[in-house]
Structure 1
Amino acid sequence: MELKRVVVTGLGALTPIGNTLEEYWEGLKSGKSGSAPITYYDTEKFKTKFACEIKNYDPQNYFDRKEARKLDRFTQYALISSDEAIADAGLDLNALDKFRVGVIWGAGIGGLETFQNEVMDFAKGDGTPRFNPFFIPKMIADIAPGNISIKHGFMGPNYTTVSACASSANAMIDALNYIRLGYCDVIVTGGSEAAVTMAGMGGFNAMHALSTRNDSPETASRPFDVTRDGFVLGEGAGALILEEYEHAKARGAKIYAELVGGGMSSDAYHMTAPHPDGIGVVRVMENCLRDAGMKPEEIDAINTHGTSTPLGDVAELKAISQVFGEHAPKININSTKSMTGHLLGAAGAIEAIASILAMKHNLVPPTINHSTVDENIDPKLNLTLNKAQPRDVRVAMSNTFGFGGHNACVIFKKIS
């Protein structure tokens, strides 16, 4: 059976450095930091008092008041980004066979704010279980793709992938394979997350996972820098329209790139820490290259998982050096989490979009906030530090890893 080709025909983004795709790219290329003091709640008693929130966001600019009350923010973000991607793709919804259009979405946590607020309200009462009837449908992680499908009438595969921070990368790989195998013509994929809440921040603080650089939040996410002290929590969504190549050509669609491969692996090592030798990361990149039918020397750029944690950054770069060997110093390596923070289940989606935009504009976004060299990192690697670098990016890889040892990797290629 000959596998069908899969291309990207639409993009949408709602991120801490831009509320549209265009704004997101402007933020990326200029090295904008999305980290700032938290505005959602009083942080006085919290160890970390900052995060990468969506800026200037009012749900009533997108939804009526009644509808917004039925949707957790992670679902709101999903609907907004997917609407932008559908419009960007120029899809004529009336002309599509909607039984062949699916929605495969990623979310690592889902409606955490809804869960938090409902349980806190219950705890204030007399013990009688009085819950909002929308509590469960607002909270469950699969509700985002459900709402996207309901809005547009898409009746193909519809579900959420949950693999912590690898969730939306896994969603893209599933979508890739459904189209490759001929089951769908179009799939809306990506991911969303809205975990900047008291429960989210408190939980990650208890794990010692977050930066506590409260005196300088805008520089707190500093991947590869020796002074890094943890990740900065972010929120938002990224959406991609994946489409079968001949289907896209037949309707005259613009094509951003071809999704040529996806790889997965497991560390099988620890609940939260990466394997120090990056064994699982080595395997996921090798699997992805094999799936794409590519050699290591064909890769021009890698958007790393690069969370700004002491262990994770070193393990990933060691793995890159092992997989790519002499070619590794020739690759533009970066971490856009230095700007957006870590969007958990949405990270794979917005970072894949960053890779695609780097290809479109021949410009690799920077890894910002770097000042001090880490002696555990190979100095020959080009980490695209502090300033965007022009480059003809023909093939780009994006890495995403999650708690539990979940590893996912995707490769995009320019259409010749």
Structure 2
Amino acid sequence: MTLPVAVTGVGSVTPLGVGAAVLASRLVAGETALVGGDGRCVEFDAGEFLTRRESRRNARFAQLALVAADEAVHQAGWSNGLPYPPEEILCIVGTGLGGAPESPQGTDATPLTVPLMMANSAAASLCTRYGIRGESFATSGACAAGAQAIGVAMGAIRRGEAAAAVVGGAEAASVPLICESFAQAGALSPTGRCVPFGADRDGFVMGEGAGILVLESVAGARARGAEILGLVMGYGASSDAHHVTAPSPDGVPAAQAMRRALADAGVAPEDLCYINTHGTGTPLNDEAEIRSLRLALGDALASIPLSSTKAATGHLFGAGGAVESIITLAALRGGTAPPTYGLSEPDRRLGELDHVLSARALKPGPSGVIGLSDSLGFGGHNSVLVLGAP
């Protein structure tokens, strides 16, 4: 087993509100932020957190990342300066679509159009804000991008290539061009409801948001007296090599990523006490995901509580893996799993599963309080994280 990496700060902006604590508490309370078939961050006003210049020079997805990062950096105790040499800190912010334009018309272009659209602009802005001079870039594995960022940073810290990292994902793609494309592809819910694993599920609902985490070695965090909020224990990834949007129907590649994450963490399926699923609410995706989980976890799957929080936040695409990692860490730390909002009649064709229908206390497994969060992106990008309580 390789060493886990410490999480010392988390921050989020989601349709459920500004702040990671707000996100966790509203999820456990069984609330949803989806209104009229859309999940917007209506409580977020960039002007309350950013200067006029910062707002103008950052697309909405990067604005969300900046505010989430401020929360995470403050919680980690970095507010008065970086605790490590700036060149030894990574900054990786995943996104699927970057600064998606409200209008695709060329006549709307300005000198800032391209910088605002660039997928790496959120990471670049975070580096400028905090003086981070280590490597920075954007992972862009669609819906798996946020989880990819965490996994890549964890590996670099373990190998001693970085002392710490500011990582996560951000997305603000709920714009007409993107929504119409997903609608034409048959992925959006025509009823405006997102009911992952439900017998009557009919698609996902768009959302937007950002999740940022501060990662550092356990030894480094302890040496400076930082509170450890949780652990990133393992990471696994794979590619379907199947289709630009549809998952591999046999579930084998995603299952491989799950097995790799467990092996990397040095834990068995029976050690898991919670699974935060990708759970988009599309018939095809839910079926393939459960097939993958069953292949990877075997008979243990039936007794592991699982839920999808996309029913409450919407599908956050590139931000999803990071936000859902923060949700999973909160569930493990607080000992309570959030429910799949609106799920009352699970699809029996998916087999025996332990759906969390209302907030439920988690029971530690043989190796402690450990959870799994999987992110399965368009294009067949599979990224899986094994997380632990502090």
Per the normalisation by structure 1, the TM-score is 0.90
Give the match for residue 88 of structure 2: 100
Indicate whether 1:19 and 2:6 are aligned.
no
Asked if 2 retains the 8 angstrom alpha-carbon contact of 1:9 and 1:248, the reply is yes
Aligned length: 385
Give the match for residue 43 of structure 1: none
- Please give the secondary structure, in 1, of the residue aligned with 2:267: coil
**Relative to structure 1, is the Cα distance of residues 169 and 338 closer, same or farther in structure 2, using a 3 angstrom cutoff?**
same
Deviations 1:127-165 (A, max 9, x none): xxxx31111111100010000000110011100000110
- Counterpart of 1:395, as a letter, is I
**After superposition, where does 1:278-293 map in structure 2 within 5 Å?**
278-293=251-266
1:258 to 223, 231, 256: 231
- Stretches of structure 1 lacking an aligned partner (at least 5 in a row): 38-49, 124-130
- Counterpart of 1:26, as a letter, is S
CA deviation after TM superposition for structure 1 residue 258, in Å: 1.5
In the alignment, the residues of structure 2 paired with residue 161 and residue 264 of structure 1 have an alpha-carbon distance, to the nearest angstrom, of: 13
Indicate whether 1:78 and 2:56 are aligned.
no
Indicate whether 1:310 and 2:309 are aligned.
no
Deviations 1:82-105 (A, max 9, x none): 110000111242543111111011
- Stretches of structure 2 lacking an aligned partner (at least 5 in a row): none
- Counterpart of 2:387, as a letter, is F
- Please give the secondary structure, in 2, of the residue aligned with 1:285: helix
**After superposition, where does 1:317-332 map in structure 2 within 5 Å?**
317-332=290-305
Asked if 2 retains the 8 angstrom alpha-carbon contact of 1:303 and 1:335, the reply is yes
Percentage of pairs with the same residue: 36
Indicate whether 1:143 and 2:121 are aligned.
yes
- Counterpart of 2:74, as a letter, is A
In the alignment, the residues of structure 2 paired with residue 3 and residue 398 of structure 1 have an alpha-carbon distance, to the nearest angstrom, of: 19
2:187 to 209, 212, 233: 209
CA deviation after TM superposition for structure 1 residue 277, in Å: 2.1
- Please give the secondary structure, in 1, of the residue aligned with 2:375: strand
- Counterpart of 1:12, as a letter, is G
- Counterpart of 2:318, as a letter, is G
1:403 to 367, 378, 388: 378
Asked if 2 retains the 8 angstrom alpha-carbon contact of 1:359 and 1:392, the reply is no
- Please give the secondary structure, in 1, of the residue aligned with 2:349: coil
- Counterpart of 1:262, as a letter, is Y
Asked if 1 retains the 8 angstrom alpha-carbon contact of 2:58 and 2:121, the reply is no
- Counterpart of 1:270, as a letter, is H
Indicate whether 1:154 and 2:119 are aligned.
no
Give the match for residue 238 of structure 1: 211
In the alignment, the residues of structure 1 paired with residue 119 and residue 231 of structure 2 have an alpha-carbon distance, to the nearest angstrom, of: 28
Between Structure 1 and Structure 2, whose CA radius of gyration is higher?
A: 1
- Counterpart of 2:107, as a letter, is F
Q: Over the residues paired in the alignment, what is the CA RMSD in angstroms?
A: 1.5
